Amino acid sequence: MSHFTSRIYNFNAGPAMLPTEVMEIAQGEFLNYQGTGMSVMEMSHREKHFQTILDTAVQSLRTLLNIPERFGIVFFPGGATLQFSAIPLNYLQPGEFADFSETGVWAVKAMAEAKKFYPNVQSVYDGKPNAYTEIPDLTEADIHPGAKYLHITSNNTIYGTRYSEFPKLSKTPLVADMTSELLSRSLDLNQFSVIFAGAQKNIGPSGITIVIFDKEKLPEVKHPIPNLMNYALMEKNGSLYNTPPTYSIYIAKLVFDWLIKKGGLSVMEKENEEKAKALYDALDASSLFYAPVPKKHRSVMNVVFKSNEPKLEAEFLKGAEENGLAGLKGYRDVGGFRASIYNAMPKSGIDTLVSYIKHFESSKA
C-alpha cells in the first residue's frame, strides 16, 4: 500500500518526475488561472491567455536551445511514435529511403514504421548483438548512397546509452529522436535537420511531442500526408491547426520558465553530469552492483545497473520503494535496475539512492 505523506524520489523512466516548484505553481492556479476564474485546462485555445502561454513556451524553448530562426518549433499531439510515421511521410518521396542507426527498441520501431511506407529503408548499425550497450561512431562514410536522412535515437532510455558526440555528417541530414534527453544538455542545432522529443521525460505530461525542424530542408512532397502529421501545415498554424493539448503545453511552459530561472541548459548540463557521475562512481566502486554500459556510451539521463546476485533484486527494489525511491525496476527486456535522473531529479535524490545502495551492500557483506 502507498502511504507517503510527501513527495518521494521518483526514478521512473517516463512519464517521470517533474520539478516540485513547477507542480506547486500548477496546483496553486489549478482552479483559477491568474484571476481568469477558470483553469488553463478550461480555457479556449483561441483566447489571449492561452496564446500568451503558447507564445512564451515557444520563445523560451528557442532561447534555451538557441534555436536559429530557420527552424520551426511545433507542439504535436501524441508521442514520438506519431513522428515515426510523420518523418518519413514528410521527408521521403515514394521510392526514396532513409538510413537508421539501430541502437535500441525505439530506433528499431522507427525503422519498422518507415519501412511500411518506404520498403527500401536501410540500417547503418545494428546494436542487437551487443545487447544495445554500445553506440556507433558514425560518419558520412557509413551512409548508404542516396539515403535522404539518418535517423538516430540520441539517448536510449531502456539500455542507458547515449551519443556523447553526434554523427558528423558532411551532407546527409540528421534526424534525432531526443525524447529522453532534450533539454538536458546544450545543442548545436546546426548539426540537425529535425529533432523531436516526447514530453514525458524532461518537459511535461505525456501526450505532446516537440518537433524542431529546419524549414529550409523540408522537401515538398506530392503524396497526401494526414493533416496532424504535416510539418508545413502544423508550423504555419503555430501548433494551432486544431485544438492542441493545451494543458500539457502550459506545464511545458512552466518547466521552461524553471529551466531559465535555473540558469539555462549549460547549468543544467553540468548538474546532470555531476548527478550521473555520483551514481556511476558508486556503482563502479561496488562489488555487488555494476553498470553494464561501457563508460564512453553511458547515458546521463538513464543509469542502468545490475546486481552480481540477481536473487537479491526483489529485496533491493522492495527496500527502495519503502524508502521513497520509486521506479527503479529495469525495463522488462533488460532486467536489473534503472535510475532515470532527468532534470527534475534533485542531487539529494542521487545522494539518497547512493546511500541506499551502499547500505544495502554492506548489509549483505
In the region spanning residues 296 to 355, those forming contacts with a second copy, defined by CB under 8 A, are 324, 326-327
Answer yes or no whether residue 6 interacts with a second copy by CB under 8 A: yes
Taking CA atoms, 224 is separated from 211, 230, 266, 343, in Å, by 20, 9, 41, 39
Please list every residue from 181 through 200 that binds a second copy, using CB under 8 A: 198, 200
**127's grid cell:** 546494436
Q: Phi and psi (nearest 5°) for 255?
A: -65, -40
Q: Is 81 assigned to a binding site?
A: yes
Check the CA dihedral 66-69-74-75 and report its sign.
positive
Report whether 302 belongs to an annotated binding site: no
80 annotated to bind ligand: yes
Question: Does 106 participate in catalysis according to the annotation?
Answer: yes
| Cβ neighbours around 312 below 10 Å, total | 16
Q: How far is 4 from 240, CA to CA, in rounded Å? A: 40
In the residue annotation, 311 being an active-site residue is answered as no
- Residue 104: all three cell numbers together: 535500441
Active-site residue, selected from the candidate residues 148, 177, 306, 329: 177
Q: Does 268 bind a second copy (CB under 8 A)?
A: no
How far apart, in whole angstroms, are the C-alpha atoms of residue 277 and residue 271? 10
Strands 99-102 and 161-162: unpaired
CB atoms within 10 A of CB 2: 6
Among 160, 245, 336, 349, binds a second copy (CB under 8 A): 245
Residue 177 touches a second copy, criterion: CB under 8 A = no
Nearer to a second copy, 124 or 328 (CB): 328
Q: Per-residue contact track with a second copy, 53 to 92, x per CB under 8 A?
A: ------------------------xxxxxx-xxx--x---
121-160 residues in contact with a second copy (CB under 8 A) are: none
CA 3 to chain centre: 30
15 belongs to the binding site for a second copy (CB under 8 A): yes
Q: Which stretch binds a second copy (CB under 8 A): 14-22, 168-176, 270-278, 293-301?
A: 14-22
Is residue 72 within 8 A of residue 90, CB to CB? The reply is no
Part of the chain binding a second copy (CB under 8 A), chosen from 29-37, 141-149, 189-197, 349-357: 29-37
Which of 20, 139, 190, 266 forms a contact with a second copy (CB under 8 A)?
Answer: 20
Task: Please tell me whether 242 is known to bind a ligand.
Answer: yes
Q: Cell 512564451 belongs to which residue? A: 56
With binding defined as CB under 8 A, does residue 45 bind a second copy?
yes
Tell me how far, at minimum, the Cβ of 361 lies from a second copy, in Å.
Answer: 25
Q: Near a second copy by CB under 8 A, which window of 43-51, 145-153, 160-168, 300-308?
A: 43-51
The answer to whether residues 159 and 334 touch, using CB atoms and an 8 Å cutoff, is yes
Mark residue 44 as left, alpha or beta (left: phi above 0; alpha: psi -120 to 50; beta: remaining). Answer: beta
CB of 342 to a second copy, least distance (A): 10
What distance in Å separates the CA atoms of residue 244 and residue 172, rounded to the nearest whole number? 32
Supply φ then ψ for residue 303, to 5 degrees: -100, 110
Tell me the C-alpha distance between 81 and 167, whole Å. Answer: 23
Does the annotation flag 258 for ligand binding? Answer: no
Distance CA 240, CA 236 (A): 9
Total number of residues that touch a second copy (CB under 8 A): 74
1 interacts with a second copy by CB under 8 A: yes
49 binds a second copy (CB under 8 A): yes
Residues 6+ apart with CB under 8 A from 277: none
Q: How far is the CB of 3 from a second copy (least distance, A)?
A: 5
If one asks whether residue 16 binds a second copy (CB under 8 A), the answer comes out as: yes
Figure out which of the listed residues 59, 70, 93, 117 binds a second copy, where binding follows CB under 8 A. 117
281 is catalytic: no
3-state DSSP percent of the chain in helix, strand and coil, to 5: 40, 15, 45
- Catalytic residue, chosen from 201, 253, 275, 329, is 201
- Give binding residues for L-glutamate as ranges: 46
- Give binding residues for pyridoxal 5'-phosphate as ranges: 80-81, 106, 157, 177, 200, 242-243
**Which residues form the catalytic set?**
106, 177, 201
